[in-house]
Amino acid sequence: MKLNRLLFSFACFLSLFLGASTHAQTISSDSLQSVIKQIQRGENDSIRFRNNRIFSQLLEDSLRKPESFTADFSSWKNLSVISDPEHTIRIYTWTFPNYAGSQYFYYGYIQLKTSTPDSLIMISLADSTSKILKPESEKLRADKWLGAIYYSLGKTKRSGVTYYTLLGWKGVNESMTKKVIEVMAIEDGKVKFGFPILKTGSVFRNRVIFTFTSQASMTLRFEKDGKEIVFDHISNPKKGDSPNLNLLSGPDGTYDKFKQKGGRWVIQHDIDARTDWEAKEPKE
């Protein structure tokens, strides 16, 4: 009986959506919230994935409409939406855990404005985390994406290329969390991830990944009008203290930052996040 009610709810929701002729704001309803709730808290993985397929299709169909680029998606509680200040790009990401809490699944779409009025390019992102062997150094693309929930975006320009620096949250399981500094660029209408503009000492990284216990909270944010990225320094326990050191890793009360320099991000250690005090750049 419970399954029948659920299926009936799905049918009503799909009927509601297919009959709608305007943008995403029209889709705000109890049915949408029911689907989102089942994605996050469904009583088994089958229910979670089934609802996620409905959610994904609804979102994709909405994003194909030009007016969606300025639509308010705040009622889509499971969805993070960010855009650049010039409103030329919009990124939509979401996630959900499996029932056991041992894995998160990531999904996303990117909208790009074109030179043609009322025309958009929509790109689907495919999470390939398990297939990425060297996540801090590999160059990736839309169909091979290191899944994350992006919550903030900054821009830099170097040698005529615009780079989008994305800050993201990446839950791993109920014990471990990651945060990500991702670098993205658009080339010939295609999305590419991973560019070596993040300098740590003498090393240039395509992206930076922080791993720490899920019991901790880590700061990772833009400051100074997007010219700096301030973040907690993650301290690891001594080797041998734990079979999995990441489960004991977390902020130690000090801060580091990346500062824009010549279109790149250069790390500075041990800053005072409350003042304008400038740390020295690390020696190469």
- Annotated domain spans of the chain: 1-13+27-126, 151-284
Instruction: Find out whether 137 and 159 touch, Cβ atoms under 8 Å.
Output: no
Q: Minimal CA–CA distance to 104: which of 16, 40, 185?
A: 40
Neighbours of 2 (CB within 10 A): 7
DSSP string, 2-26: HHHHHHHHHHHHHHHHHT--S-GGG
Instruction: Find out whether 159 and 263 touch, Cβ atoms under 8 Å.
Output: yes
- Output the CA–CA distances (angstroms, integers) from residue 148 to 171, 185, 192, 215, in the order listed: 8, 17, 15, 19
Q: What is the DSSP letter of 145?
A: B
Specify whether the backbone of 96 is left (phi greater than 0), alpha (psi in -120 to 50) or beta.
beta
Question: 169 — phi, psi (to 5°)?
Answer: -105, 135
For the whole model, what pTM was predicted?
Answer: 0.85
Per-residue pLDDT of the chain (284 residues; tens, 9 = 90+): 444 444 444 444 444 444 333 334 444 478 899 999 999 999 999 999 999 999 999 999 999 999 999 999 998 989 999 999 899 999 999 999 999 999 999 999 999 998 887 889 999 999 999 999 999 999 999 999 999 999 999 999 999 999 999 999 999 999 999 999 999 999 988 999 999 999 999 999 999 999 999 999 999 999 999 999 999 999 877 655 555 656 678 999 999 999 999 999 999 999 986 655 454 554 44
Place of tokens 């995403």: 24
Q: How far apart are CA 262 and CA 266, in angstroms?
A: 9
